[in-house]
Amino acid sequence: MTAPAQELGSGRTDGQRPAVRLDAVSKVYGRGANSLLALDKVSLDAVQGDFVCLLGASGCGKSTLLNLVAGLDRPTTGDIDTGERKIAMMFQEPALFPWLTVSGNIELALRVQGLDRRARRARAAELLDVVHLGGFAKKRPHELSGGMRQRVSLARALAQEADLLLMDEPFGALDAMTRDLLHDELERIWRERNLAVLFVTHNVREAVRLGDRVVLLSSRPGQVIEDYPVRLARPRRTESADVAELAGTITERLKEEVRRHGR
Amino acid sequence: MAVEAPNRLNEQIAGLDALEIQVKRKRGVAALLWGRIWPMLIAVGIVLAIWEGVVLAGFWPEYVFAGPFTALEELANRLGTAEFWHAIATTMRRGLSGFALSILVGVVIGAAVSRIRLLRAAFGSLITGLQTMPSIAWFPLAILLFGLNESAITFVVVLGAAPSIANGLITGVDYTPPILLRAGHVLGLRRIALYRHLILPASLPSFLAGLKQGWAFAWRSLMAGEILVIIANQPSLGEQLHYARELADSARLLATMIVILIIGVLVDVLFGVADSALRQRWGLDQRIG
């Protein structure tokens, strides 16, 4: 595997049409006096092949943002343009269907796309190999560990042949070692498939480890306050000094934002 | 910068997976069965002892309240008669066909009510109300409508069982985990496909519970019906109860009751097996400790 070592994050966005464009997106929950402004005129775009991490403290509406892009919810005002792109999404929970086998879960995603039975079976096996779970096709989700389930969930998302992958704290519930491995996995898959990824997390180091850009959101209402380009060579390690340094800078800014709510 | 070689990475992943996967103890079928049966045998023994105790206490003469040995002896004798098996066959046929019809009716009503908001508002509580109505209260009307025949029995059996089955389905649909619905939406499941591949399978445990409860209601309604609606030349368990009382044949009465109880228990075991198979497949069978 030869890694293009000096890949610069947002440098290559020039001149390309965005894979996803959010234009002054606002989301209000409830009405009248009880209404809550979750997102306030958020504008953001990412091109194909861009890995964008959305970072923020609680109440910054980062999950809301992903739900809007996924079409699980509608913005109150503003526009979201994903072109005709297919969108896949991963959640913090694996959200696998317990009545299906590991392979069956992936095959269902393929079925929605109209593949016939044989093609589904074969493709599911390929995808399980991609996430190193080739030997577990016939297991049930509950027989796997949390990290393995999350990989099945990733394989299911990949089965959708999406161009845009939305990830809502997908590794938040995993132990550090498993998370490190999944970072490597995700980075490899992202690069091989030239995906656009919107990755929500509250873990600053994880954001710096993975992202071409780290977009910092304020809380209540959620607004973009910083858009850090991450110009560190890949592959990166979560524990390396340059990752820690940038993470430190971003953390300071994040703390400042949190303190604002304490005054 | 240290780059993890792909091979080492793969090994590390495989190693973690091997460590994290649960080792399951598998028990043989015989051991499983025995584990279920021996507590039941103890319970049966205790019940027989209490029964014999009450008989020996002499509150009632033997011809009114026969002891367990007399009743079991009567049962053993009856096992050899064609009439006995004929009665069981008739009763089971009625029970199963009535139950099958109940499933059909229950599923149609349950699906419609869970899907259409207006129907739910109109009929939701009515279904639960029907469930609490004693089935025997329907018989006078059923007999007026259909006469003294099997249709009257089937009518009441369906009225008894269908609401439970419908309710099981409705509950299952309502309690489909939201996270699975979101995942299904993202996968592109809509309308019919959403029901077929997500909501119906997700509601299976609750539906199964509804079936089990539905059977219990069906079985009760059937016994009530067979005692009330007696059809000439058609021996059935309910009919046998009725004649045993008319003839003051206590041993025969109790023997028939034992048969009814055994059938009830056997069907319950079947539902239990289905339920535990489902739990095992879904991973809901993990016990604490």
Q: How many Cβ atoms are within 10 Å of B56's Cβ, its own excluded? A: 9
B3 in a domain, yes or no? no
The pLDDT of residue A1 is 40
By Cβ distance, the residue of A111, A113, A143 closest to B283 is: A143
> Is residue A209 domain-shared with residue A169, that is, in the same domain?
yes
Which tens digits make up the pLDDT trace of B150-196?
Answer: 999 999 999 999 999 999 999 999 999 999 999 999 999 998 899 99
A181, B13: Cβ pair inside 8 Å? yes
Query: Does B178 lie at the interface with A, CB-CB under 8 angstroms?
Result: no
Whether residue A124 sits in one domain with residue A46: no
> Residue A227 is encoded by which pair of tokens?
């858009």
| Mean predicted confidence (pLDDT) in A186-200 | 92
Distance CA B261, CA B97 (A): 20
Residue A11 belongs to some domain of the structure: no
Give the chain B residue whose CA is nearest to the CA of A3.
Answer: B3
B187 lies within 8 A of chain A by CB: yes
How many domains is chain A partitioned into structurally? Answer: 2
B8, B17, B195: which to substitute to probe chain A, counting the most A Cβ within 10 Å? B17
* A175 and B CB contact within 8 Å: no
CATH code at position A207 = 3.40.50.300
Q: Going by C-beta distance under 8 Å and a sequence separation of 6 or more, which residues neighbour residue B29?
A: none
- If one counts the domains in chain B, the total is 1
Name the pLDDT band for A69 (thresholds 50, 70, 90): very high
Q: With CB atoms and an 8 Å threshold, state whether B283 touches A141.
A: yes
Its domain, for residue B204, covers: 63-276
Average pLDDT over residues A24-39: 88
* Residue in chain B lying closest to A175 (CA): B16
Residues in chain B within 8 Å Cβ distance of A187: none
Does residue A194 have a pLDDT over 50?
yes
- Residue B282: CB atoms within 10 Å: 17
Domain holding B157: CATH number?
Answer: 1.10.3720.10
Indicate whether B45 belongs to any domain: no
Task: Give which of B7, B175, B187 to mutate to test A binding, by max A Cβ within 10 Å.
Answer: B187
Placement of tokens 């007696």 in the chain: B230
Chain A hits for B183, Cβ within 8 Å = 89, 91, 95-97
Q: How far is B19 from chain A (nearest CA, A)?
A: 9
User: A220 and chain B: CB distance < 8 Å anywhere?
Assistant: no
Please tell me which residue of chain A has the smallest CA distance to B187. A109
Least-confidence region, from A68-72, A129-133, B150-154, B284-288: B284-288
- Using the predicted structure, report yes or no on whether residue B24 has a pLDDT greater than 90: no
Q: Same structural domain for residues A137 and A241?
A: no
Residue-level pLDDT at B283: 82
What confidence tier does A11 reach under pLDDT thresholds 50, 70, 90?
very low
Residue A15 has pLDDT above 80, yes or no: no
In a domain, B181, yes or no: yes
| Percentage with pLDDT > 70 across chain B | 94
Residues 6+ apart with CB under 8 A from A80: A20, A21, A22, A23, A25, A68, A69
B185 touches chain A (CB under 8 A): yes
Q: Which of A127, A160, A193 is the last residue of a domain?
A: A160
Domain membership of residue A132 (yes or no) is: yes
Residue A84's pLDDT is 82
Answer yes or no: is A192 within a domain: yes
DSSP string, chain A: ----TT--TGGGGTTPPEEEEEEEEEEEES-GGG-EEEEEEEEEEEETT-EEEEEE-TTS-HHHHHHHHHTSS--SEEEEE-TT--EEEE-SS----TTS-HHHHHHHHHHHTT--HHHHHHHHHHHHHHTT-GGGTTS-GGGS-HHHHHHHHHHHHHHTT-SEEEEESTTTTS-HHHHHHHHHHHHHHHHHHT-EEEEEES-HHHHHHH-SEEEEE-SSSB-EEEEEE--PPSS--TTSHHHHHHHHHHHHHHHHHHHHTT-
Q: Of chain A residues 117-136, which have a CB less than 8 A from chain B?
A: 132-133, 136
- Residue A144 belongs to what domain range? 97-160
Residues A189, A75 share a domain = yes
- pLDDT of A141 reads 93
Which of B1, B21, B179 has the CB atom closest to A95's CB atom?
B179
Do A155 and A175 fall into the same domain? no
Please name the amino acid found at residue A51: F
Nearest to A108 among B21, B22, B197 (CB): B197
| Domain contains A212 | yes
Same domain flag for A195 and A238:
yes
In the predicted structure, residue B35 carries a pLDDT above the cut 90: no
ipTM score of complex? 0.86
Residues A180 and A240 grouped into a single domain: yes
Same domain, A167 and A245: yes
A237 lies in the same domain as A176: yes
- Min Cα–Cα distance to chain A from B8, Å: 11
Q: What is the pLDDT of residues A93-130, one digit of tens each?
A: 999 999 999 999 999 999 998 999 999 999 999 999 98
Question: Could you give the dihedral angle defined by the CA atoms of residues B94, B100, B104 and B110, in that order, rounded to the nearest 10 degrees?
Answer: 100
* Domain-embedded: residue B151: yes
Residues A81 and A173 placed together within one structural domain of the fold = yes
In this predicted structure, what is the pLDDT of residue A61?
85
Residues in chain A with CB shorter than 8 Å from the CB of B284 are 98
Q: Is the pLDDT of residue B12 over 90?
A: no
Query: Has residue B287 got a pLDDT over 60?
Result: no
A132 exposure class (CB count in 10 Å sphere: 0-12, 13-18, 19+): buried
B182 inside 8 A of chain A by CB: yes
Average pLDDT of chain A to the nearest whole number: 88
Question: Given an 8 Å threshold on Cβ–Cβ distance, is A112 in contact with B188?
Answer: yes
Nearest CA-CA partner of B279 in B215, B213, B204: B204
Could you tell me if residue A92 is inside a domain? Answer: no
Residue B84 has pLDDT above 70, yes or no: yes
Q: Nearest Cβ partner of A178 from B16, B182, B198? A: B16
Residues A172 and A72 in one domain: yes
Distance between the two ends of chain B, CA-based, in angstroms?
46
Residue by residue, DSSP assigns B260-285 as HHHHHHHHHHHHHHHHHHHHHHHT--
**Range from A90-94, A167-171, A237-241, B30-34 carrying the lowest mean pLDDT:** B30-34
In tens, the pLDDT along B42-76 reads 999 999 999 999 999 988 888 889 999 999 999 99
What pLDDT does residue B81 have?
Answer: 92
Best CA proximity match to A49, nearest among A216, A193, A228:
A193
Do A173 and A142 share a structural domain?
no
Cβ <8 Å between A72 and B182: yes
Task: With CB atoms and an 8 Å threshold, state whether A108 touches B186.
Answer: no
Cβ atoms of residues B149 and B94 within 8 Å: no
In a domain, A169, yes or no: yes
Residue A252: pLDDT band (50, 70, 90) is very high
